[in-house]
Structure 1
Amino acid sequence: MTKSLVGYGPIRQTRVGVSSSRGFDSESLGYHVGQTLGYGGERVYGRLDVDYDNKGGKFDSKGNRISPDVNQTDQQDTESLSVNGSLGVELTDSQRLDLAVTYYKDEQNTDYGPDYGDGLAVLFGAKPSLKAIDGANVENEPYTEKSSVNLSYSDDDFVGSGSSLNLTGYYRDEKGRFYPSGKTAGTQASEVWQANGLTDTATLKKLASAATFVTQSEADIEVMGLRAAMQTETEVAGKKTLLSYGADFERENSEQTYYGQDLNTFLASNGLTAQTNGLTYNGGPDTTIDKWGAFVNADMDITDKWHTSAGVRYQKLKSETDTFTPIYEQLLEEYFNSPAISGISAAYGIDYQAGDVEKGSTDHDKTLFNLGTSYQITPNDQVFANFSQGFTTADIQRALRDVRAGFVVNSDNVQPITTNNYEFGWQGKHGDTAARLSGFYNESDKVVRFTDDYTVEVVDTDERIYGVEGSLSHDISDKWQVGGSVAYTRGQYDKDGDWLELDAVRLTPLKGTAFAQYQFDEGSNIRLQALAIGGDDKAFKDQQKDPDASALPVTGYMTLDVLGQVKMPVGRVDYGVYNLLNKDYLTVYHQTTYGDLNRLPASGTTYGLSYTVDY
């Protein structure tokens, strides 16, 4: 809710909608209902939005139900509730207090699971069918829950000085439970067997296959922070200058836990039934990250055409991690001490005891600079250039999840990532045509990547990312508008002196969009839009030189959507036909991440229809 709604009066809106797959299969049907109530008074204004969604299953272009995404969980068969509220008060003519509160909760309730094959064969290298199998029974279904509170105070004439003050405090909490999935410690188990004298390949393979576990992950991230900023108009070298300065603090607490599932039950059902077995595993250490910052920035009009800005920021990052047992240490201890393996372990003198990573802390700081300028070369054309620096840490908890016992958490071993970002370009509008063309170049001193077994590591080596983006729109008439965009990005990282290509997990391949829209006299419209992704195998070929790399080739694809709005005597109808041509394809994510069980097809043609009325 913004100050612009002061005096607006009553606000009421009702929304209903339905969605379906191409074949109108009953399992694909979803629906949505929503209601908005608000009021904009002379001094007080507020708004409440409540939306409920019930999503059905997804079906591919052949009409087959798509298997659940067991790696990151999907939105099939979920119910969700979203609540957004805001309240504002004009305390005086210059002072304002605003409160915003949000809540979101979704939970999956599905009868379908993935096809692991007989005896969970997919976990041991068999090719998955990718079929969705009826009969799933998951004791604790996946869910997502998010809540946030934001309270801000602003004064446009702080103590009568003409300066403006803004104070903001915020809090948010995000929780989530993922789909149960099989996990194998076979590689790590083989290393231990070999270290203790077992070299027979067939025996190693058989014993490694027994190192199978089923877990379900839950995560909780809590963030709270404060920001204070002032803006003051002054003069520097005779030029009007807007000075902005302030400080901020943010604390993030995160924890992740894996809950063990009964393996015999999972095996007997070929992965369809998941029941907890009472065991828990660390998903990395409980972590607290504090971020302190202070900044000052100046914006100046050097001439009526030339604008420039410059600033400096001091950033401090501190983290504390609790003692934890790495997950593979826990799994290996359970494996070597299991009844089926313990006798063989004893014969080879293996008495595996899981080790810990002791609690630790890091402390880093850096002074960062930014500089930007723009020049109005004609009344319709502007060129710009910007430089900025970034300073952050990788997801510490996620990165530490895969370390081995004895790892020492300190400022030397867990280092931040520093980036330099450069941008330059042109934008303009000539008659009925608007366009923008920009280029960028970013460099950093670390690489965050998935390895070939999908653990995460932060590699201390240089990285560079660069590219070009362009957009164009043109009003053919007062009814027709066309346009599009293109983005091309490349990047490399330094591997022993060679620059190797970054893969599509990090960078989006060549991407293009296009649209044509027609506006009817009575306010209705229809829009045809296209999305094209280019194929790319550069990183896959290049990273053959890196044995720890996990790059995969990308196959390009193009999809078409039709969207529109019909103005009714009361309210409006919105409609959409997505993947209009029923294209059979895999998104970049499903082509390049995790293993074969993640090569899931995208949805075929999907329909959406909604009705909205304001009153």
Structure 2
Amino acid sequence: MTNKTILPVLVSVLAPLSGWAEETGANELDQVVVSATRQSMAASELAHAVTVIEREELETQWRTAANLGEVLAKTVPGMAPASQTLTNFNQTLRGRNLLVLIDGIPQNTSRNISRDLMNIDPANIERIEVLRGGSAVYGSGAAGGVVNIITRRNRSQAVTKLELQSALSKVTGDGLGYRGEQSVGGARGDLDYGANLAWEEQGAFYDGNGRRIAPEPSQGDMSDTGTWSLGGKLNWHLPTGTLTLSGSHLDAKQDTDYASDPAVDDVPPGEARAKAISGLHLNEQNRTRNSLLNLAWHAGDTRVGAVDAQLYYRDYHARFTPFDARGIPSWGALVQTYLDSESYGGRLTVNTDLSETALLRWGLDSGREKTEMPVTTYDGSAYDNSGGLVYIDTGDRLFMPPVTQDTVAVFAQLEHNFSDQLRGEAGVRYEYAEASFNDFTTLGEGNQIEGGEVDFDDVLFNAGLIYALNDTVDVYANYSQGFELPDLGLQLRIAPSDFDVGDSQLEPIKTDNYEVGARGYWGATQASLALFYNTSDLGPVVIQDFAFAQRRAKERIHGVEATMDHQLNAQWRLGGLLSWMEGESYDRADRKWKALNGYRIPPLQLNVYVEYASGRHWSHRLQANYSGSRDDAFDDEVGFGSRKVDSYSTVDYSTRYQQGRHSVDLGVENLFNEDYYHVYGQLLRNGRNTSHIPARGITAKIGYQYQW
């Protein structure tokens, strides 16, 4: 189907529905204001797809999810399934990387370690806005879209919540988890304040057969992990605007006695399940620590229009599972990597009215990030003699040299209402980035690498039109360019002796994104349909077996997304979403297009739900999740991430009973205790059976909440 035929098809599908809505007297749904586009506009006025997850829906999804990645996978079209581990390595959005923001603060680091969705506790989230598709407005990192996490708003109340979690496929003390939350808030004069504290202890995870799931040895997992989080916000409402000071701190640290048994690697990959063995002796285990400080100013009426400005600071630390890399020349040791990153910057957005029908949004972004990635080395003999259980620290060494990256960008977007039905927008962004590092010696091969500096700059464009067919149906078309800096640190740590900082391998990825879609709002029903296509002349650097595997290649990805929600009556509500996509890269050697691997392109995803409210106090939700099969990458023999992926289905159930200030909720994940492998577990991240990690079996959470 070509772009020229898509719009008429959308019109023909949705127009009859709009007529039905008008005949039945259905009213339009309340408008949802979205800030993820820096526009603070109603979702129905945007010329691209967007998903908004409010606090109430987040609380419902958390009852049957272990982390934010799982919540997004079940609620956002185009989002790949979660890994049930610490990483969002495989969780692309429309086949490309996504930019994660917390109150506008970027969570991505220049050395992409794929833990961006693990940097905030659910107790500190008010809502999440997901802009699907590339964004010229935000620039670097937003090739697949933007996940904008907005922290809790201040409320004049105090709430206490306690929660207990347990695996039900094997009920044991090791499988128990505990959680507590306390939030407070209030106001005095021109000031309002709020704070939230959360503490959690995760237990062991068990598969559908009641076997303890082995720790994920490549990217890390969340079993036996203790987490605490503190967030707070202070708003000062002045006659000229609002000044907001907010901060948060999260620290998640694993302390387990288990490891993934290396003995399973004696059989061919995929033919043995990862096995947990006890006796691990390792002082420093998986850890994620994230501290944010944000000062924001909003003025709705100035000489130049509405102004939003912010200054931020971020301190970040992440540690991974040790890895036996003695057989890899570029590593040459038994190592454990960790990353330290410090960043600060500012953002400014100004909305200037040019006339009653035209508005100019303009502003600038700037930031500096300092990142380094050393390794802790361990005694190989002690490790071998213990069967992979004993780690004796032999000191830290340089792995990736400290890298300083500076970015600055300016943007402007003109929006114009041509009529009551037609609205258009067009924008431009100029971005400049510079990264530098000093002389260093590679860890394994001992290559002497001369320090250097690499800079990038580019101009990005976006344009969109949205047309209201009537009061209930809108159709839109959008073009936007995305921009993604290369992972310089990934290349530096395995740099060959002839490494050239000016090589084309370090050129940024620039994507062209095309999208057409339609949205319908008919009172009790809302639905959307989006078709997208994105392409880039350069893909990411491909690393296989910890070495450069191929030159960067052209890529193209296309897909379709659909959503529907319907309120049958006061008691019943149902709906769902569907995502399908396919992607290819051009193989110069074979002179043909080949499928992108399974970490980039997920199988078909389908989620459906039904909700029932029995009176004002009791609600129920049953949700079915389906992930399809995919063998395109396997057939094309593309290497890393090309294993066959089989389909699987799960069902989740949650319920909540509320009476006055008290509420009790229950969530059951994987209700029918399916024994299966999620997509990430089927792809074998480290290429061996120690990464053949099964999914969790039936798991229950029960919680009690009291509002003071």
Q: Check if 1:103 corresponds to 2:196.
A: no
Q: Is the 8 A contact 2:509 2:540 kept in 1?
A: no
Q: Is the 8 A contact 1:485 1:513 kept in 2?
A: yes
Decide which of 436, 448, 455 is 1:356's aligned counterpart: 448
Decide which of 295, 298, 305 is 2:421's aligned counterpart: 305
More displaced stretch, 443-452 vs 129-138: 443-452
Q: Check if 1:149 corresponds to 2:293.
A: yes
SS in structure 1 at match of 2:354: strand
Structure 1 gaps of 5+ residues are 190-210, 330-353
Q: Distance in 2 between matches of 1:364 and 1:523?
A: 57
SS in structure 2 at match of 1:249: strand
SS in structure 1 at match of 2:634: helix
Show CA shifts across 1:204-246 (max 9, x none).
xxxxxxx9732111111222111122211112xxx62111111
Q: Is the 8 A contact 1:82 1:102 kept in 2?
A: yes
**Structure ranking higher on relative contact order (CA contacts 8 Å, 6+ apart):** 2
Q: Which amino acid aligns with 1:101?
A: G
Aligned partner of 1:609 in structure 2 is 702
Q: Check if 1:319 corresponds to 2:439.
A: no
Aligned partner of 2:91 in structure 1 is none
Q: Is the 8 A contact 1:358 1:406 kept in 2?
A: no
Deviation at 1:182, TM superposition (A): 1.3
Q: Distance in 2 between matches of 1:157 and 1:569?
A: 41
Q: Distance in 2 between matches of 1:321 and 1:440?
A: 38
Q: Check if 1:436 corresponds to 2:552.
A: no
Cα distance 1:70–1:448, how it changes in 2: closer, same or farther (>3 A)?
Answer: same
Cα distance 1:121–1:241, how it changes in 2: closer, same or farther (>3 A)?
Answer: closer
Q: Which amino acid aligns with 1:96?
A: T
Q: Distance in 2 between matches of 1:30 and 1:59?
A: 13
Show CA shifts across 1:159-180 (max 9, x none).
xx26122221111121011121
Decide which of 274, 277, 284 is 1:133's aligned counterpart: 277
Decide which of 210, 218, 229 is 1:82's aligned counterpart: 229
Q: Is the 8 A contact 1:326 1:405 kept in 2?
A: no
Q: Distance in 1 between matches of 2:261 and 2:634?
A: 28
Matches within 5 A, 1:125-524: 130-158=274-302, 161=303, 163-185=305-327, 188=329, 213-235=333-355, 240-278=357-395, 280-282=397-399, 284-329=400-445, 354-410=446-502, 412-448=504-540, 450-453=542-545, 455=547, 459-496=551-588, 497-524=591-618
Aligned partner of 1:17 in structure 2 is 163
Q: Is the 8 A contact 2:360 2:412 kept in 1?
A: yes
More displaced stretch, 548-557 vs 73-82: 548-557
Cα distance 1:76–1:529, how it changes in 2: closer, same or farther (>3 A)?
Answer: same
More displaced stretch, 221-230 vs 475-484: 221-230
Deviation at 1:315, TM superposition (A): 0.8
Aligned partner of 2:89 in structure 1 is none
Show CA shifts across 1:332-351 (max 9, x none).
xxxxxxxxxxxxxxxxxxxx
Show CA shifts across 1:253-287 (max 9, x none).
211111111111111110111111125241x2321
Aligned partner of 1:533 in structure 2 is 627
Q: Which amino acid aligns with 2:437?
A: T
Q: Distance in 2 between matches of 1:269 and 1:370?
A: 58
Q: Is the 8 A contact 1:123 1:182 kept in 2?
A: no
Deviation at 1:520, TM superposition (A): 1.8
Cα distance 1:322–1:69, how it changes in 2: closer, same or farther (>3 A)?
Answer: same
SS in structure 1 at match of 2:645: coil
Q: Which amino acid aligns with 2:262?
A: Y
Cα RMSD after superposing both structures: 2.4
Show CA shifts across 1:465-499 (max 9, x none).
11000011111211101111110011111112311
Q: Check if 1:570 corresponds to 2:668.
A: no
Deviation at 1:128, TM superposition (A): 5.9
Q: Is the 8 A contact 1:164 1:232 kept in 2?
A: yes
SS in structure 2 at match of 1:603: coil
Show CA shifts across 1:39-73 (max 9, x none).
13341011010000011000111101111111111
Q: Distance in 2 between matches of 1:226 and 1:326?
A: 34
Show CA shifts across 1:373-428 (max 9, x none).
11110111000111111222122112332231230212645111111111110010
Deviation at 1:9, TM superposition (A): 7.0
Cα distance 1:137–1:376, how it changes in 2: closer, same or farther (>3 A)?
Answer: same
Q: Distance in 2 between matches of 1:8 and 1:319?
A: 39
Aligned partner of 2:215 in structure 1 is 68
Aligned partner of 1:48 in structure 2 is 195
Show CA shifts across 1:136-194 (max 9, x none).
11122221111001111122222xx26122221111121011121212435x49xxxxx
Q: Distance in 1 between matches of 2:332 and 2:427?
A: 54
The normalised TM-score by structure 2 is: 0.75
Q: Which amino acid aligns with 1:505?
A: Y
Q: Percent identity?
A: 29
Cα distance 1:122–1:398, how it changes in 2: closer, same or farther (>3 A)?
Answer: farther
Cα distance 1:43–1:52, how it changes in 2: closer, same or farther (>3 A)?
Answer: same
SS in structure 2 at match of 1:250: strand
Deviation at 1:532, TM superposition (A): 0.6
Structure 2 gaps of 5+ residues are 1-123, 127-150
More displaced stretch, 441-450 vs 226-235: 441-450
Cα distance 1:121–1:378, how it changes in 2: closer, same or farther (>3 A)?
Answer: closer
Aligned partner of 1:583 in structure 2 is 674
Deviation at 1:96, TM superposition (A): 1.1
SS in structure 2 at match of 1:591: helix
Count how many residue pairs are aligned between Structure 1 and Structure 2: 554
Q: Which amino acid aligns with 2:609?
A: F
SS in structure 2 at match of 1:27: helix
Decide which of 52, 55, 58 is 2:205's aligned counterpart: 58
Q: Distance in 2 between matches of 1:166 and 1:513?
A: 37
Deviation at 1:124, TM superposition (A): 11
Show CA shifts across 1:564-593 (max 9, x none).
211134321121000111111111112112
Aligned partner of 2:84 in structure 1 is none
Q: Is the 8 A contact 2:155 2:184 kept in 1?
A: no
Q: Distance in 1 between matches of 2:692 and 2:296?
A: 45
Q: Which amino acid aligns with 1:605?
A: I
Deviation at 1:323, TM superposition (A): 2.2
Show CA shifts across 1:346-372 (max 9, x none).
xxxxxxxx2222111111211111101
Show CA shifts across 1:118-138 (max 9, x none).
xx9659989766221111111
Q: Distance in 1 between matches of 2:550 and 2:358?
A: 41
Q: Is the 8 A contact 1:364 1:411 kept in 2?
A: no
SS in structure 2 at match of 1:447: coil
Q: Is the 8 A contact 2:160 2:705 kept in 1?
A: yes
